[in-house]
Amino acid sequence: MNEIKDWGIKVCASVEQVFFGKHDVIEKILASILCRGHILIEDVPGVGKTILARAVAASLGGSLSRIQCTPDLMPADILGISIFNPQKGEFTFRPGPIEANVVLVDEINRATPRTQSALLEAMAEGQVSIDNTIRPLPKPFLLLATENPIDFEGTFPLPEAQKDRFFLSLTVGYPSREAEEMILDSQNKELAHPVESVTAVSTPEEILKYQKDILSVYVSTELRGYILDLAEATRTSTMLKLGVSPRGSLALFRGAQALAALRGRDFVVPEDIRELILPVFSKRIILKPDQLLKGITEAIAVQRITDLVTVPIPGKQDE
């Protein structure tokens, strides 16, 4: 797995040229990419969600497109549209921005539910259906979405079905003082944002190869049971109205494999799983109303549930 580890170091270094002090966030995004998963970056305005997504997309290589969501955005603006060509006397299809290796969907919750639903088939099956024709999307296909959870005016909350399509959700958080000082320095030299200078350090072919390679990362019977116990604990918790779906437990399983590979191991350890529980589970659960009134958040609920599940001790087969 050293090849995947070197790839991860290379891509992280490229992103960290313009996005400082958040190595763990970048690493989780790369793990999601290796699992062919889509990512939701949710945080307050101004902490660099879009810059992070743009830097990751530019570093990965391949084709890149961006969709700025607004309430008047229509499904055809994303998927493409057939336009009549009078010279040829026939309709010509013009593909939308969804047909790219990396698609940045900025402020996804500002799009209407009708437009949001246009992304579901692409996220789940890597294809879109237009004019009774199925159009496969480029491989690899990655959707990076951002949203602001603070300002709800003019927004449309993501339905549960769409939240479950995201492999994981991340928060960026405020930078440390040292990182913020680096931000000031980096943007005091040129008028253009430093992200404009980020170049590809990977290729689509590399990513496709590594997506297959992580499947060979070993997960012991005890750790498989630990993942299943965590998922079951969310379904029986008195705090939750809705627990984690099988898609969530599979995401945790695959994510742990990818994280282990990025760290140069061909086996999973409990720490790989525990680091991903919150980003994988947090958007796949629904709290009961009385818990919301008590000030319980998804993060608090996931942490309490995690604390109740016994962590297995790795056996000889994990060494």
Domain annotation for the chain: domains and CATH numbers: 1-188 (3.40.50.300), 217-310 (1.10.8.80)
How confident is the prediction for the chain on average, in pLDDT? 89
Q: Could you tell me if 50 and 146 are in contact, meaning their C-beta atoms sit under 8 angstroms apart?
A: yes
Residues present in the chain in total: 319
Residue 77, pLDDT score: 92
- Predicted confidence (pLDDT) at residue 319 exceeds the cutoff of 50: no
Report how far residue 177's alpha carbon sits from residue 185's, in angstroms, rounded to the nearest whole number.
12
Of 73-87, 213-227, 235-249, the range with the lowest mean pLDDT is 73-87
Residue 222, pLDDT score: 94
Residue 193, pLDDT score: 81
* Mean pLDDT on 246-258: 95
* Mean pLDDT on 238-263: 94
- pTM score of the predicted model: 0.88
pLDDT cut 70: percent of the chain above it: 97
Q: Tell me the pLDDT band of 69, cut-offs 50, 70 and 90.
A: very high
- DSSP letter string over the chain? -HHHHHHHHHHHHHHTTTS-S-HHHHHHHHHHHHTT-EEEEE--TTSSHHHHHHHHHHHH-S-EEEEE--TT--HHHHHEEEEEETTTTEEEEEE-TTSSSEEEEETGGGS-HHHHHTTHHHHHHSEEEETTEEEEPPSS-EEEEEE-SS--TT--PPPHHHHTTEEEEE---PPPHHHHHHHHHHTSS-SS-GGGG------HHHHHHHHHHGGGSB--HHHHHHHHHHHHHHHH-TTEEE---HHHHHHHHHHHHHHHHHTT-SB--HHHHHHHHHHHHGGG-EE-HHHHHTT--HHHHHHHHHHHSPPPPP-GGG-
pLDDT in tens, 3-29: 999 999 999 999 999 899 889 999 999
Q: Tell me the pLDDT band of 315, cut-offs 50, 70 and 90.
A: low
* Mean pLDDT on 135-153: 86
pLDDT in tens, 166-177: 999 998 888 889
Q: Tell me the pLDDT band of 314, cut-offs 50, 70 and 90.
A: low
The residue behind tokens 């790219």 is 100
Alpha-carbon distances of 74 from 64, 69, 119, 120, rounded to whole Å: 20, 9, 11, 14
Residue 265, pLDDT score: 94
Residue 316, pLDDT score: 43
- Predicted confidence (pLDDT) at residue 318 exceeds the cutoff of 50: no
Residue 6, pLDDT score: 95
Integer-rounded Cα Rg, in Å, for the chain is 20
* Mean pLDDT on 62-83: 90
- Predicted confidence (pLDDT) at residue 250 exceeds the cutoff of 60: yes
